[in-house]
């Protein structure tokens, strides 16, 4: 397996693609984004390993986000490669017009529900990728538990919804150790966004926390993420991110306790300050994911488009000294 590091001018953190060419088959896991710099870097990296885009037999995608799938259509057109992605993300990756129309309609409903000001919505729309400008591949859906045999090595699909509805990891054995390719389910520096990154996901925080528990319980020796450097202790990293969300939940509750009822946009301002670019989506989406979870577990009360802290939670907040709020899943 070879890690191919790719620049990323559209999202935070350089991307990784992973090449499996140690046998008769050439397989690529994720492709990076659609930018010319990425295209050149990928082509050069493949050439340095003695293969070309035309040699790729299969593409395995971790999820639909364009910084992971941007070149899949081009590569398929050049090579005839089969492209696999989870069934929940297949319509988006495959360029289904109805799926994209429903997705954008849902985004607009949430923009209104979250209270994003119209000038910020306009800024965000200008920043978002038009999927019709990308070459969409023909895709084959995959499911949790499916196994791909690549040059004698099994890669098992692990569905870890939260950041995206169809986000999947691939677990396998390298050099005698159990490892996992996590896409954006586990990252070494950033905490993957939940709520804004894919508005199709219901109960996004709950699902993501379950994904983190699945990673922690697996005891992988190393994680190869979709961005930045390998993670040498995936269990510790998953547990750290879970604690981070408990700290964020405490901050959400504190904001409501101090300010009274707020909408997700106002809560995101308390959490992240002024937002621009893609963070106009990710900030209130993250706030909403926490508010929705806290409402279902009784810590906050939803009132139309605002949320207020429940009395019992306000009382409990005063008694806590660790600045964390336990999140039940």
Mind listing the pLDDT tens digit for each residue in 168-224?
999 999 999 999 999 999 999 989 999 999 999 999 999 999 999 999 999 999 999
- 102: pLDDT confidence band, cut at 50, 70 and 90? very high
For the residues 124-131, what does the mean pLDDT come to? 91
- pLDDT at residue 144, as a whole number: 98
CB contact set of 34 (below 8 Å; sequence gap of 6+): 66, 70, 71, 134
- pLDDT at residue 9, as a whole number: 67
- pLDDT at residue 11, as a whole number: 59
Query: Can you spell out the DSSP letters for 238-261?
Result: HHHHHHHHHHHHHHHHHHHHHH-S
Give yes or no for a contact between 143 and 186, defined as CB atoms under 8 angstroms apart.
no
Q: How many Cα neighbours within 13 Å face the side chain of 297?
A: 18
Question: Comparing 57 with 129, which gets the higher pLDDT?
Answer: 57
- pLDDT at residue 174, as a whole number: 92
133: exposed, middle or buried (C-beta count within 10 Å: 0-12, 13-18, 19+)? Answer: exposed
- pLDDT at residue 10, as a whole number: 57
- 318: pLDDT confidence band, cut at 50, 70 and 90? confident
- pLDDT at residue 304, as a whole number: 87
Give yes or no for a contact between 305 and 115, defined as CB atoms under 8 angstroms apart.
yes
- 67: pLDDT confidence band, cut at 50, 70 and 90? very high
Statement: residue 281 has pLDDT above 70: yes
- pLDDT at residue 329, as a whole number: 83
For the residues 303-312, what does the mean pLDDT come to? 95
The reported pTM is 0.96
Nearest to 187 by CA among 144, 239, 223, 236: 223
Q: Which domains does the chain have, with CATH numbers?
A: 2-97+130-238 (3.60.15.10), 242-319 (1.10.10.10)
* Mean pLDDT, rounded, of the chain: 96
CB contact set of 51 (below 8 Å; sequence gap of 6+): 19, 21, 26
- pLDDT at residue 328, as a whole number: 80
CA dist 110 and 103 (Å) reads 11
Instruction: Work out the percent of the chain whose per-residue pLDDT is above 90.
Output: 93
């Amino acid at each position: 397996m070879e890690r191919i590091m790719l620049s990323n001018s559209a999202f935070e953190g350089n991307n990784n693609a992973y090449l499996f060419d140690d046998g008769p088959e050439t397989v690529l896991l994720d492709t990076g984004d659609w930018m010319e710099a990425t295209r050149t870097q990928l082509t050069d990296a493949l050439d340095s390993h003695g293969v070309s885009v035309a040699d790729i037999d299969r593409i395995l995608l971790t999820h639909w986000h364009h910084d992971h799938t941007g070149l899949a259509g081009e590569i398929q057109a050049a090579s005839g490669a089969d492209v696999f992605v989870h069934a929940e993300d297949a319509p988006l990756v495959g360029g289904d017009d109805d799926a994209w129309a429903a997705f954008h309609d849902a985004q607009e409903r949430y923009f209104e529900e979250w209270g994003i000001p119209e000038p910020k919505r306009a800024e965000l729309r200008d920043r978002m990728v038009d999927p019709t400008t990308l070459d969409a591949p023909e895709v084959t859906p995959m499911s949790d538990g499916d196994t791909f045999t690549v040059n004698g090595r099994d890669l098992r699909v692990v569905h870890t919804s939260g950041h995206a509805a169809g986000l999947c990891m691939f677990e396998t054995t390298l050099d005698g150790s159990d490892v996992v390719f996590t896409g954006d389910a586990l990252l070494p520096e950033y905490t993957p966004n939940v709520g804004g990154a894919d508005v199709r996901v219901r109960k996004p925080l709950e699902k993501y926390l379950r994904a983190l528990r699945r990673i922690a319980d697996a005891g992988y020796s190393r994680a190869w993420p979709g961005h930045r450097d390998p993670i040498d202790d995936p269990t510790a990293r998953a547990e750290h991110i879970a604690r981070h969300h408990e700290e964020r939940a405490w901050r959400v509750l504190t904001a409501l306790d101090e300010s009274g009822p707020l909408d997700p946009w106002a809560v995101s301002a308390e959490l992240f300050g002024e937002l621009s670019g893609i963070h106009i989506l990710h900030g209130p989406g993250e706030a909403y994911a926490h508010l929705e979870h806290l409402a279902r577990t009784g810590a906050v009360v939803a009132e139309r488009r605002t949320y207020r802290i429940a009395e019992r939670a306000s009382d409990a907040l005063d008694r806590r000294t660790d600045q964390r709020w336990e999140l039940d899943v």
